[in-house]
Amino acid sequence: MGSLRRRLHSETIMEEEKEGLPPFVRSWRQLYGLVIANLILMIMLFWWFTEAFS
């Protein structure tokens, strides 16, 4: 009985953690990885524009 209760509790927590995520990611860690990758890409792109057009 306690095992079932713990499993249901952990499933509820997992559902609450996924609340608010966009449909194209499965976890908050993946979302943060995409945000950081996007930031790095934008910095590199702006650096390239600066070098090319100055």
**Angle at CA 35, nearest 5°, toward 29 and 39?**
145
CA distance 17 to 34: 18
How distant, in Å, are the alpha carbons of 25, 27, 43 from that of 12? 19, 15, 39
* Cα of 30 vs its chain's centroid, Å: 4
Q: Both ends of the chain: CA-CA distance in Å? A: 70
pTM value > 0.75: no
Summarised one tens digit per residue, pLDDT across range 2-42 is 676 666 666 666 677 788 888 999 999 999 999 999 999 99
